[in-house]
Amino acid sequence: MAAFLARRLLYMVPTVFLISLVAFVIIQLPPGDYLTTLVAQYAAQGESLDQAQLDALNQRYGLDDPFYVQYWKWISGILFHLDFGQSFEWSRSVSSLLADRLPLTMALAGLTLLLTWIVAVPLGAYSAVRQYSIGDYLATTIGFLGLATPNFLLALVMLWVAFSTFGLSVGEANPVTFAIAILVLGTAGTAGLIRILRANLLDELRKPYVVAARAQGLPEGRLLVRYPLRVAMNPFFSTIGWLLPSLVGGEVIVATVMNLNTVGPLLLGALRSQDMYLAGSIILILGVLTVVGTLISDIALAWLDPRVRLRYR
Amino acid sequence: MTPHSDDSNRRAAAVAEKDVAAPADPTAVGRELAATGTILRIDGLRTYFHGDESVVKAVDGVSLDVPRGRTMCVVGESGCGKSITARSVLGLIDPPGRIEGGHLWWHPDPEAPAVDLAGLDPRGDAIRQVRGGQIGMVFQEPMASLSPMYTIGDQLVQAIRLHRAVTPAEARELAIAQLRRVGIPQPERRFDAYSFQLSGGMCQRVMIAIALSCDPALLIADEPTTALDVTTQARILDLIAQLQEETGMSVMFITHDLGVVAEIADDVTVMYLGTAAEQGSVTDIFDRPRHPYTQALLASVPTLGQARKERLAAIAGMVPSPENRPVGCPFHTRCPSVMPGLCDVTAPAVRPLGDRHAAACHLLDPGLQRPPVTAPPAAPATAPVAAAPPAAAGAVPPATEPLLSVRGLRMTFPVKKGFFGRTVGHVQAVDDVDLDVFPGETLGLVGESGCGKTTLGRCIVRALDPTAGTVLYRDPDTGAAVDLARLGPKELRPYREQVRVIFQDPFGSLNPRKTLLQLISEPLRRIHSAKLDSTVEDQVAAMLRRVGLRPEYLRRYPHAFSGGQRQRINIARALITRPRLVIADEAVSALDVSIRAQILNLLRDLQDEYRLTYLFISHDLSVVEHACDRVAVMYLGRIVEQARTVDLFRGPRHPYTEALLSAVPVPDPHLRGAGRRIRLADELPDPSAPPPGCRFHTRCPHRQETRCDTESPALARAGAGDGPAHLAACHFSTTLALRGVAGPTGDEEGTRP
């Protein structure tokens, strides 16, 4: 297990390095550099920067240096001082901006994941065990509706219902809006997971070990949870990898519609106004989150499934 | 079967009606069962599967008795409803299947009333007490029947604690004792192993341990040895017999292998298409079979010692799908003594034929104006092949040059481990193999699974790139010799059509999304880059006809065909390029006996017609003896013996060959026991660390301390009296007196009709 973990951590290093390179290239992508943009911005506002200030900034970002020096300055700032650079749109450091937004985002993502699981596991299991029953069709229909309805539409409808029917205050960051956001984000993920679990469990239910366990006289409920369900849950853990970043990045539209202060709208705004340090940093963080998520799901799989732990070393 | 068969008679006559006989008084039934010494009576069981459009009558009115303390074998081809019958007993039928009628009288305690298991809720508590507690069950695929998520100890403890009030610590002790009882070495250590870390034989022992953990009165074993090697099978059969002796339990043993039946059965029920065709004691069934199906089954088994190159009596056609079961007698579509107007109209009643012997056939009706036919059912098929094999086929033509010469072939797979996936060792799957295949012969390659026979076959066709050695192929037309092991992919192309493979799994080896035309013509198009025009279509159609399929099937997909038909498709695909050498890798292992006989006969006919040379890889020695001119025996990557079939089977010169031969169940109950069994001690050693000296010495009953564990024996001429072609790799091959199989004896022929 320790060797497995060590090797997985080692594999992360080149992956994260590549992600950071890509993020840096994205930051460098727009024509001109950060300073010319800044000067233009000041000029547009009728102000000007003096040469000393420009030189100081030039020094700080190493804009005259070759690519790899600039990259090193950028990445070492992040690694050693958590300095992601400056957002010129907000005129604040990117790290302080993210510090404001990330906790809410992570809370939203975590709670959504939890809701997804709480709803999807029992529904998926029920659909599989009672295949082609009315309950199965109902769950399938609801699942498809959840998949097919655009999230922002659902968000608008729910906001409107909350406001008009229950007289709740919506449209700003408060618990009600937050709960609606979780519900809206959860529906789409839930629908997908119900289908995955149902398909997996149906496969597992037909395996000989299920019949063999039943032939020992195991009660149905215990049989289901201990044997096929445990194997069928494997893909759930695999989904953590891509679920994390998609929850952080995927709520852009919903959060914009609902006016939530999360990272999603920040990224959208940064991309629209070419606030490249902010955008690049968020992309970097999302990329690293994907890698970390994959690592977590791999560890969870190895921990829960002896086949992964012992056989495929 | 006496008072009860009257019920069966009436019921069989009125299949459509639901439960004519209804003496459902458990106490009365209990008294009756106690009187006849029956522990389980299956009475007119009907298990149907309700599909969208049709009802599949998988089990349709089976009646059979499992006697107390004895072994009842249920035998029949696949699709005959054997497994469904067994699962019905424990209520293990998955929806949409359902028990529609009949009784399952379960009577473990002779004093108490009988219980009708068919009347219990399959999800209720009552049946759960029976499952595992009173009736244990063992399944066909031991690996897949254990959950990979828990250690075998956990699963055993769970089974014990389900039916016994013991603490976890006590359960652990009991579990370890149970593992020891089924012959698992180092049970304390194995307790924490997972199923995928054990071999198939070990897993089956664990399954047996679980099934017997609560001392059931009946063990139902559903093809428990079908997926195992002969040597492992022999040990598992021994184990079941030994445990039965210890506990006095009854055994219901389901199998398609008549050799196993002859080995272990006290009583036999022959099932056909969801009904019991015949039942009786094992000697009745083997010596005096009365039902044409039983007779045909017995005739189609290749037996050790049977004259080689004799055609097998195959049963015509195949088991009809239960969806379109024939009207009248279910067997009439394949029966050689079918009586039109009777058999295809009325279902025959079960007729008692003396002590516990009964069969369902119109021929046995005493009122019928026709004597019972006891002649071999497939008589025309057994006729000696007059024109076919040339006289020289028996002996290896010594003068000819080999078609294929394998020299010093090695195939090594690295074992990777640890932090950086370093190579820490090598598995020598094939280790320094020399082999000659002569044109026109069939060379058999046998050995336990894991001995490297498939790897060797794959190296020859270059599906694998051998690590070292040469594979010299001599083109029979030009005489030019090429080393296939050295050729690149492009240069290999012309040889890909000359050397072809038939694979084992008829289901996995055909792409389900391609039509037969696409599948069979594929090699032509890959190798000749021929266009799919009408000439190709004609060729494929002709080939289909040749392998016994109708050319109309060209545009059908493989799912429409049965296992035997698919294997015919595979043969057609192998032969479409007119190859010279065909490697048949366990080509008949997955097939039923009667279908296997058909395919073996077909392979033989095609060999004569296309002048084919076969390398026949198989673990089934009786098939090899029947099909091959010469045999090579492999053990742990090496060839340990090589000889003409008759020499090898009559006078083996290597202890491993002797052990393999003695492990094969002989389909003759009179030869049971007879002191001819050699049981190999251990499982196959770890191939990445083969034992020093003779690789077989760790399991060899004739091991001698002086040489065997230090000095590796070379493959050399064995015995002065034997022909030059008899080679064995044993230090003592000339001195050991090893036992082979007896030739076809007069009384054996006489007892079988």
Distance CA B306, CA B262 (A): 16
In this structure, how many other beta carbons lie within 10 angstroms of the beta carbon of residue A127? 25
DSSP for A162-196 reads HHHTT----SSSSHHHHHHHHHHHHHHHHHHHHHH
Name the packing angle between helices A263-272 and A94-129 (round to 10°).
120
Please tell me whether residues A251 and A301 are part of one structural domain.
yes
State residue A100 phi and psi, 5-degree precision. -65, -40
Name the residue with higher pLDDT: B684 or B81.
B81
Domain boundary pick from A26, A60, A95? A95
B532 class by beta-carbon count within 10 Å (0-12 exposed, 13-18 middle, 19+ buried): middle
Q: Which helix (H) or strand (E) element contains residue B251?
A: strand B250-255
Residue B6's pLDDT band, with cuts at 50, 70 and 90, is very low
Domain boundary pick from A38, A61, A95? A95
Residue B746's pLDDT band, with cuts at 50, 70 and 90, is very low
Task: Give first-to-last CA distance, chain A, whole Å.
Answer: 9
Chain A residues contacting B via beta carbons under 8 Å: 3, 6-7, 206-209, 211-220, 226-227, 230-231, 305-307, 310-311, 313
Please tell me whether residues A54 and A119 are part of one structural domain.
no
- What integer pLDDT is reported at residue A107 of this predicted model? 84
Please tell me whether residues A68 and A139 are part of one structural domain.
no
Flag whether pLDDT at B752 surpasses 80.
no
> Exposure pattern of B93-126 as b/e (b: 16+ CB <10 Å)?
beeebebbbbbbbbbbeeeebbbbbbebebeeee
Which residues of chain B does A211 touch, with a Cβ-Cβ cutoff of 8 Å?
87, 92, 94, 139, 145
Q: What is the CATH number of the domain that holds A129?
A: 1.10.3720.10
Distance CA B347, CA B332 (A): 10
* Residue numbers of the domain that contains A69: 2-95
Q: Say if B321 is an interface residue toward chain A (CB within 8 Å).
A: no
Please tell me whether residues A62 and A172 are part of one structural domain.
no
Whether A260 contacts A181, CB under 8 Å: yes
Please tell me whether residues A132 and A262 are part of one structural domain.
yes
Q: Residue for token digits 């006016």? A: A259
Name which of A64-73, B291-300, B376-385 the model is least confident about.
B376-385
Distance CA B454, CA B586 (A): 9
ipTM of the complex: 0.76
**Rg of chain A over all Cα atoms, to the nearest angstrom:** 24
Q: Say if B101 is an interface residue toward chain A (CB within 8 Å).
A: no
- What integer pLDDT is reported at residue B391 of this predicted model? 38
Domain boundary pick from A64, A95, A126? A95
Q: Say if B52 is an interface residue toward chain A (CB within 8 Å).
A: no
Please tell me whether residues A61 and A187 are part of one structural domain.
no
Q: What Å distances lie between residue B155 and A194, B145, B207, B525, CA to CA?
A: 29, 11, 10, 52
B98-146 pLDDT per residue, tens: 888 888 888 888 787 888 888 888 888 888 888 888 999 998 888 888 9
What mean pLDDT value characterizes chain B? Answer: 80
> In total, how many domains does chain A have?
2
Please tell me whether residues A20 and A144 are part of one structural domain.
no
- What integer pLDDT is reported at residue B7 of this predicted model? 45
In this structure, how many other beta carbons lie within 10 angstroms of the beta carbon of residue B48? 21
For an interface test with A, the pick among B52, B92, B138, B145 (most A C-beta atoms closer than 10 Å) comes out as B145
Calculate how close chain B gets to A217, using CA atoms only, in Å: 4
Arithmetic mean of pLDDT, B454-475 = 88
CB contact under 8 A, B123 and A212: no
Distance CA B687, CA B695 (A): 10
Residue B529's pLDDT band, with cuts at 50, 70 and 90, is low
Q: Identify which of B687, B502, B466, B698 has the alpha carbon closest to the alpha carbon of residue B584.
A: B502
Q: Residue for token digits 């046998």? A: B446
| Cross-chain CB nearest to A7 (options B149, B194, B419) | B419
Please tell me whether residues A187 and A76 are part of one structural domain.
no
Residue B615's pLDDT band, with cuts at 50, 70 and 90, is very high
Flag whether pLDDT at A194 surpasses 80.
yes
| Percent over 70 (pLDDT), chain B | 85
Residue B327's pLDDT band, with cuts at 50, 70 and 90, is confident
B284 is written with which tokens?
């009745």
Whether the link from the prior residue into B669 is cis, omega within 30° of 0, is no
Domains of chain B: 2-134+216-287 (3.40.50.300), 397-635 (3.40.50.300)
B171-214 pLDDT per residue, tens: 999 999 989 888 888 888 888 888 888 878 888 889 989 988 88
A233 is written with which tokens?
């849950």
Name the residue with higher pLDDT: B594 or B435.
B435
The sheet with strand B422-437 has its strands ordered as B422-437, B404-417, B468-474, B481-483
- What integer pLDDT is reported at residue B1 of this predicted model? 41
What mean pLDDT value characterizes chain A? Answer: 81
Residue A264's pLDDT band, with cuts at 50, 70 and 90, is confident
Arithmetic mean of pLDDT, A247-265 = 76
CB contact under 8 A, A216 and B210: yes
- What integer pLDDT is reported at residue B417 of this predicted model? 66
CB contact under 8 A, A220 and B144: no
Name the residue with higher pLDDT: B350 or B682.
B350
Residue B722's pLDDT band, with cuts at 50, 70 and 90, is low
Arithmetic mean of pLDDT, B450-478 = 86
Distance CA B643, CA B661 (A): 14
Whether B501 contacts B583, CB under 8 Å: yes
Name the residue with higher pLDDT: B740 or A97.
A97
Distance CA B466, CA B459 (A): 6
Three-state SS across B467-495? CEEEEEEECCCCCCEEEHHHCCHHHHHHH
DSSP for chain A reads -HHHHHHHHHHHHHHHHHHHHHHHHHHH-SSS-HHHHHHHHHHHTT----HHHHHHHHHHHTTTS-HHHHHHHHHHHHHHH----EETTTTEEHHHHHHHHHHHHHHHHHHHHHHHHHHHHHHHHHHHHTTTSHHHHHHHHHHHHHHHS-HHHHHHHHHHHHHHTT----SSSSHHHHHHHHHHHHHHHHHHHHHHHHHHHHHHHTSHHHHHHHHTT--HHHHHIIIIIHHHTHHHHHHHHHHHHHHHHHTHHHHHHHT--SHHHHHHHHHHTT-HHHHHHHHHHHHHHHHHHHHHHHHHHHHH-HIIIII--
Any idea what DSSP says for residue B741?
-
Contacts of residue B255, defined as CB under 8 A and 6 or more positions apart, other chains included, come to B73, B74, B75, B223, B225, B226, B261
Arithmetic mean of pLDDT, B288-295 = 88
Residue A311's pLDDT band, with cuts at 50, 70 and 90, is low
Please tell me whether residues A80 and A109 are part of one structural domain.
no
Distance CA B82, CA B74 (A): 7
A154-169 pLDDT per residue, tens: 888 888 888 888 777 7
Distance CA B323, CA B49 (A): 10
| Percent over 70 (pLDDT), chain A | 90
For an interface test with B, the pick among A204, A209, A218, A312 (most B C-beta atoms closer than 10 Å) comes out as A209
Distance CA A98, CA B471 (A): 67
CB contact under 8 A, B131 and A215: yes
Distance CA B91, CA B120 (A): 8
Please tell me whether residues A214 and A236 are part of one structural domain.
yes
- What integer pLDDT is reported at residue B532 of this predicted model? 61
Contacts of residue B197, defined as CB under 8 A and 6 or more positions apart, other chains included, come to A310
Please tell me whether residues A6 and A140 are part of one structural domain.
no
CB contact under 8 A, A227 and B418: no
Q: Which helix (H) or strand (E) element contains residue B618?
A: none
Distance CA B289, CA B360 (A): 12
| Cross-chain CB nearest to A216 (options B87, B132, B140) | B132
- What integer pLDDT is reported at residue B721 of this predicted model? 54
Q: Identify which of B293, B279, B300 has the alpha carbon closest to the alpha carbon of residue B373.
A: B293
CA of A302: which chain B residue's CA is closest? B149
| Cα–Cα–Cα angle for B723, B728, B729, rounded to 5 degrees | 155
CB contact under 8 A, B149 and A310: no
Whether B261 contacts B268, CB under 8 Å: yes
A284-301 pLDDT per residue, tens: 888 888 888 888 888 888
Distance CA B721, CA B737 (A): 13
A171-189 pLDDT per residue, tens: 666 778 888 888 888 887 7
Chains A, B: CB contacts under 8 A, how many? Answer: 83
B406 class by beta-carbon count within 10 Å (0-12 exposed, 13-18 middle, 19+ buried): buried
Flag whether pLDDT at B386 surpasses 60.
no
Distance CA B218, CA B248 (A): 9
CB contact under 8 A, A217 and B129: yes
Please tell me whether residues A157 and A265 are part of one structural domain.
yes
Which residues of chain A does B132 touch, with a Cβ-Cβ cutoff of 8 Å?
215-217
Strand partners, A192: none
Residue B15's pLDDT band, with cuts at 50, 70 and 90, is very low
Please identify among residues 105-134 of chain B the ones whose CB lies closer than 8 Å to any CB of chain A: 123, 128-133
